[in-house]
Structure 1
Amino acid sequence: MGFSGSGKRSAGTLLGLFAAAVIAALALVAAPLADTRLLDAQFEFNRQYFPQPVANDVVLVGIDEAFLDTVDEPLTLSHRYLAEFLGAVSDAGATVIGLDLVLPEKRFDTLVSARNPDLDFHRTLLAGLMQTLPKSKLVLAKVWDFQRGHYRDIQIDYAAVLAAQSEPQPLASALFCSDDDGRIRRYPDPGWNCLPDRSPNTLSSEVAAAMGVRGEWRGLINYHIGAEFHYLPLGEVLQLARDGNTERLKAIFDKRAVLLGTVQDDTDLVNLPVALAGWRPGIKRLPGVLAHAQSIRSMLNQGMVQPISPGLQGVMALFGALFWFHPAVARKLLLAAVVTAGLLVASAVWLRSGWWCMPGAGLLAMWIAALSRSAWQAWRNFREKQRLRRSFSGAVSPHVMQQIMSGDLDAGRRGVKTDVCVLFSDIRNFTAMSERMEAEQVVSLLNRYFSRITAMVHRHGGTVDKFIGDGMMAFFGAPNPLPSPEKAGLEAARDMLAELAELNRELEEEGWPPLAMGIGLHSGPAVIGYIGSSDRHEYTAIGDTVNVASRLEGMCKQFGYPVMCSGEVAQRVGMPEFLQPQGDHALKGHSAVAIYGWDPLQTGQAVPTSHPG
């Protein structure tokens, strides 16, 4: 039982819905990678073309190679310089000092400095912490000890001093969690479940809290606000303090959030989505202190960027997948391009407002749907054309089939008047011959004959119009234009006679009498197109040129030439000598026409190129 029209439509709709659901699911799977790439690109675009300065920024102090080259102690034993830094910055009026450094677990009181034997590393740093707390808030980094399963301890005396500060928390996690591609984009909030203890307090959040901004932070670090960071070298801060340049220190640090960390090119490096270091332009693998600095910058200004909910992502994916249903490929692809541009512009604008619309799922679903439907339609059209070619290749000439397949020939179009060369051929005395043959033999012989001569017509770019018993009508110059339809027609006539001679040799071996053929050619205007009703029509040529060619074919026997052509044909190929003039003769229903005869197998001359007629 076949499907009715409505049943086919229902089946097509169900198939489309299933395809849309699969496309939406695939888009949601691939969306995270696409969204991270789009987010990074829009962060960089906004920073370059629409920079957003910040009112409250963090002062970054860097421990660089230049400082480490000037001191004898390793960074682990930089107690004296750290205490000196804390004193200078707190005296300058800093609101909070964040240290992206881990204080030692041991006292190191048994170590002696070669240059300063009286220096007590432990007491010096302990005094620095105690002198700083009354003037500035302190937030120090703590890191997770994965072997022991807890945060690494600091020396007990330091912990006791810091315990005197209740708000903000003096010790906070300095850990960040990266995305699948290794880049740090999200703030490590407890809901993400990426920190070992799922603590809501981080080095960044506690520094912000000390500046009076306490919140339940979650979302994406706001990388598009603020300029590139330029650090103040630790050595320069210490020198200003030693020189007593309190005014300069106060101008830099008063009422500011200060962050100290290493800025070396090979220490504590993380991958960021944008280039934040002014001293390393274009580089995105940078010291981790910059991630903390940008997080603090986000908290003190616009806040974190909030991504849309997964539910809205799903809705966008389903909407994009609906592009499967529209059959107009070009219009659909144009619409998809417009939607893509609009959504990218809108997402960039929303990002500046603190929202990330995560367009990856919708865009991927839309383009997968549009392109896969286009590919599916192209495959169906290809198969349909192949089916039509197999079904109708014997009904029309190859050039006509090619025009039909390309859409250049349409049954609904009106006929076109154009110059063509029309050819008629006919087998001489075939009726008497066929009366002595069985019907099957007649059909077999005609098929052998026509298969040979039609191949010659097609070889020279001609179109076989129709078969009329043992006769054939063809024309040259439509639907495919030819440089010289008349030359092509004469060459086809010559090769048709050569093929007939080959066929006659085969017939003689089979005991059949040879066949004789007459060919008539005339050149002139004719109306070319589909003739007939809407239910039954054929591609053909009509007009006086067709009638003259038919009459000329009928005169072959009278003049004794296998090929007869008109003066128009002879003129357009340059009046070659092998075309024998037979004078002007009146045709039935037509005025006198100049006639030329030709026996190609006798003369053996090539047809010259055409001349303007």
Structure 2
Amino acid sequence: MALWAQWLAPVDGSLFADEWLRDHFIEWRHSVAPEPRVLVVDIDEASMRELGAWPWPRARLADLVETLLTQYHARGVALDIVLPNPADAEGDLRLGLLARHGPLVLAQAFDYSRDRPEWLREGVLAGARPALPGRADGTPATGYIANQAVWADLPHVGNIGFIPDRDGTLRRLPLRTSFDGKLYPALSVALVNCCGGAGLGATLARDPLQRVSYRRDWDAYTVASAADILAQRIAPAGASGRLVLVGSSSLGLGDRVTTPIAANRPGLSVQAAMLSTLLDEQQGLAPARWPGRLLGSAAALLCVLLAGYALPRLSAVLSAALLAALSAAWLLAAYAISPHDPDFSTTGPLASTLFLLAVAVPYQWQLSQRDSRHLLDTLRQYVAPAVVEQLLRSDIADPLAPRQLDVTTLIADMEGYTTHVEALPVAEAAELTRAFLACLTGPVIDQGGTLDKYTGDGLVAFWGAPLPDPDHADLALEAAAAIVERVAALSTQRQRDGRAPLRVRIGIESGLAFAGDFGTTFRSIYTAVGDSVNTASRLEQAARDLPHDIIIGAGTVRRAKRHRFLLLGERQLRGKEQRTTLYTLEPRMDHTPTSPAARQESAA
């Protein structure tokens, strides 16, 4: 879409957003600095009150032109007035002589409408120009209003017809008009050619329908009343060496147009703006031509490539912020380019970013919502709801991604599980298993632990992942003590019912481990792997030979801040080259061990 806007879109004002933006650029940039090369002579209401209503005698128009050329030393004069009918013979003769032998340009108006029932054909066309080398085209006209036949041989006659855009704004003027196989220049072109048109070749070789730059506001032009000129009430220096446009701002005589700068401006203001544009081109004062279309196309592709690389890596909010920043950057670039290329699309790259903003960001948001639901569904299987809420508020981009973290692992199971359940009916065995696992799971969740997995009659849990926690060792120890208490209560109840007591074995160790989703496309599994996890498993197995329910490694002892420990000595654990120092929690008055040997030791 951006490339179409740059290269294929019609240059006729049909891209309303594009023109709207360019109009605002013109409005922000246009200058009110005086235009010293152009004088506008206005046959205004005051002039008609003083000298009589329109139409004026041709002799008075001839007096006005002669005064401008002889008394004010104007460089050249153009009449923005069509005179299709003969009038006073003396005045017509004088105007004809001035136009044939002096720097005077008369006007004719072409009609470009194709929906009129009858095309205009009034007066006789004059001032046809030869085709430019390599460019024989012009804006095709369907009719005209020209001057009387006695002026058919005038060398310099300019077109004042125009084609407003679809929204009624006048942004372009036909510098060349084609009619019946001949080319006719615009009034401003004819005036510059009449006074020496060198330097306009490149300008005139471009498209015949050219954009008016509107670099200057109407207030930048010196406007003199026709009555003041005829009475010579204005100092001659005000017109010396200038090109003069004679027309009318009167509502009954002159036309009114809407320009990018303002509405309801005299049509004469557009001719003045075009004349200034041509003079800038002729004198090398116009902004240098930039390849705006190439720059716009490159910017659009850059935006798409940058967005394509960044959007998948950013959240929906950051993606929207990036696209908004790219849009703002392009607006600044378009503002800088617009004076240098009148035809490039100001909104092409903007359309690309807005399309991504309207389509890609909502799609990305949907994907993020889906991923969030997957994340929540996955995490809820392992951690307490409070931990899930903390994860959602954290700045961790992907909590499930494997990371190396400092964790404490707790592994617990039931001693002699097979002996307990082998003689039980299936329902009772299942009830025992559920009750025992509830004793293990509750404290883990209460202490904010991550439930890795159930191992039949036991579980694996860890602290410090997915959210880092400096108290992970103490939290695991609190959970272990609570597990022992709950299993002891369950065991006491079973003994009252005449059943065998239960014992839980727990191994705890702390250290670096890789924690994250190590599952496959078939199933997610959030777990921790590492040497400290393996050591916790070996410590749990060592508890079967020791009179203590909880066996703790040195890593946990070093990290714990709120617990006291008993040294149990060293032992060679399976899979370990070095002997491992074993610890257990120092007994508390309210602690009820589940190991029979430990209970006897506590009672003694």
Go from structure 1 to structure 2 and tell me whether the alpha carbon gap of 1:593 and 1:212 turns closer, same or farther (over 3 Å shift).
same
Contact 2:466 2:515 in 1 (8 A): no
Provide Cα deviations, 1:214-272, integer angstroms capped at 9, x if missing partner. Answer: 8566253351766865344443x533542587xx4376145634343318899744333
User: Does residue 293 of structure 1 match 2:272?
Assistant: yes
2:513 — aligned with what? 528
Q: CA deviation at 1:465?
A: 4.0
Go from structure 1 to structure 2 and tell me whether the alpha carbon gap of 1:250 and 1:541 turns closer, same or farther (over 3 Å shift).
closer
1:202 — aligned with what? 186
SS in 1 for 2:265: strand
Q: CA deviation at 1:310?
A: 13
Structure 2 unaligned regions, length at least 5: 125-145, 572-579, 594-604
Provide Cα deviations, 1:40-78, integer angstroms capped at 9, x if missing partner. Answer: 5665677679x9x99x9332223556656x548555669
1:36 — aligned with what? 19
Q: Distance in 1 between matches of 2:252 and 2:452?
A: 81
Structure 1 unaligned regions, length at least 5: 1-21, 108-121, 276-282, 576-580, 603-613
Go from structure 1 to structure 2 and tell me whether the alpha carbon gap of 1:132 and 1:327 turns closer, same or farther (over 3 Å shift).
closer
1:590 — aligned with what? 581
Query: What residue identity is the alignment partner of 2:465?
Result: A
Contact 1:424 1:553 in 2 (8 A): no
User: Does residue 174 of structure 1 match 2:143?
Assistant: no
1:19 — aligned with what? none
Q: CA deviation at 1:390?
A: 6.0
Q: Distance in 1 between matches of 2:546 and 2:211?
A: 96
Contact 2:159 2:184 in 1 (8 A): no
2:596 — aligned with what? none
User: Does residue 323 of structure 1 match 2:305?
Assistant: yes
Query: What residue identity is the alignment partner of 2:169?
Result: R
Go from structure 1 to structure 2 and tell me whether the alpha carbon gap of 1:86 and 1:459 turns closer, same or farther (over 3 Å shift).
farther
TM (normalized to structure 1)? 0.60
**Matching residue within 85, 93, 104 for 1:137:** 104
SS in 1 for 2:173: coil
Q: Distance in 1 between matches of 2:530 and 2:410?
A: 11
1:58 — aligned with what? 38
User: Does residue 463 of structure 1 match 2:443?
Assistant: no
Contact 1:552 1:564 in 2 (8 A): no
Contact 1:347 1:357 in 2 (8 A): no
Q: CA deviation at 1:469?
A: 3.8
List aligned pairs for 1:231-250, cutoff 5 A.
231-235=221-225, 238-243=227-232, 248-249=235-236
Q: Distance in 2 between matches of 1:251 and 1:297?
A: 17
List aligned pairs for 1:46-445, cutoff 5 A.
57-63=37-43, 71=50, 74=53, 82=61, 84-92=63-71, 93-103=73-83, 129=95, 133=99, 135-142=102-109, 144=111, 149-151=118-120, 153=122, 159-160=147-148, 163=151, 165-169=153-157, 172-188=158-174, 200-213=184-197, 215=204, 218-223=208-213, 230-235=220-225, 238-243=227-232, 248-249=235-236, 252-254=239-241, 256-262=243-249, 268-273=255-260, 275=261, 283=262, 286-302=265-281, 323=305, 327=309, 329=311, 348=336, 351-352=339-340, 356-358=343-345, 360-361=347-348, 364-365=351-352, 368=355, 394=381, 406-407=397-398, 411=402, 415-416=404-405, 418=406, 422-427=409-414, 430-437=417-424, 442=429
Q: Distance in 1 between matches of 2:431 and 2:381?
A: 16
SS in 2 for 1:223: coil
Q: Distance in 2 between matches of 1:188 and 1:459?
A: 82
Query: What residue identity is the alignment partner of 1:59?
Result: L
Q: CA deviation at 1:349?
A: 6.4
Contact 2:334 2:346 in 1 (8 A): no
Give aligned pairs, total: 531
1:4 — aligned with what? none
Query: What residue identity is the alignment partner of 1:242?
Result: A
Provide Cα deviations, 1:361-383, integer angstroms capped at 9, x if missing partner. Answer: 46645775799667767766765
Q: Distance in 1 between matches of 2:543 and 2:212?
A: 91
Q: Distance in 2 between matches of 1:556 and 1:65?
A: 117
Q: Distance in 2 between matches of 1:452 and 1:572?
A: 23
Q: Distance in 1 between matches of 2:153 and 2:376?
A: 87
Q: Distance in 2 between matches of 1:233 and 1:572?
A: 90
Go from structure 1 to structure 2 and tell me whether the alpha carbon gap of 1:408 and 1:227 turns closer, same or farther (over 3 Å shift).
same
Q: CA deviation at 1:460?
A: 3.7
Q: CA deviation at 1:302?
A: 1.4
Q: Distance in 2 between matches of 1:311 and 1:571?
A: 65
Go from structure 1 to structure 2 and tell me whether the alpha carbon gap of 1:450 and 1:327 turns closer, same or farther (over 3 Å shift).
farther
Q: Distance in 1 between matches of 2:16 and 2:252?
A: 28
SS in 2 for 1:302: helix
SS in 1 for 2:586: strand
Q: CA deviation at 1:435?
A: 0.7
What root-mean-square deviation, in Å, do the aligned CA atoms of Structure 1 and Structure 2 show? 6.6
Query: What residue identity is the alignment partner of 1:323?
Result: L
Provide Cα deviations, 1:62-116, integer angstroms capped at 9, x if missing partner. Answer: 3556656x54855566989756533422433445432334558797xxxxxxxxx
Contact 2:436 2:457 in 1 (8 A): no
Contact 1:142 1:174 in 2 (8 A): yes
Q: CA deviation at 1:462?
A: 1.2
Contact 2:323 2:357 in 1 (8 A): no
Contact 1:531 1:539 in 2 (8 A): yes
% identity of equivalent residues: 18
Query: What residue identity is the alignment partner of 1:302?
Result: E
Q: CA deviation at 1:344?
A: 7.3
Q: Distance in 1 between matches of 2:209 and 2:414?
A: 89
TM (normalized to structure 2)? 0.61
Go from structure 1 to structure 2 and tell me whether the alpha carbon gap of 1:267 and 1:298 turns closer, same or farther (over 3 Å shift).
same
Contact 2:290 2:337 in 1 (8 A): no
Go from structure 1 to structure 2 and tell me whether the alpha carbon gap of 1:392 and 1:544 turns closer, same or farther (over 3 Å shift).
closer
SS in 1 for 2:239: helix
Q: Distance in 2 between matches of 1:463 and 1:202?
A: 82
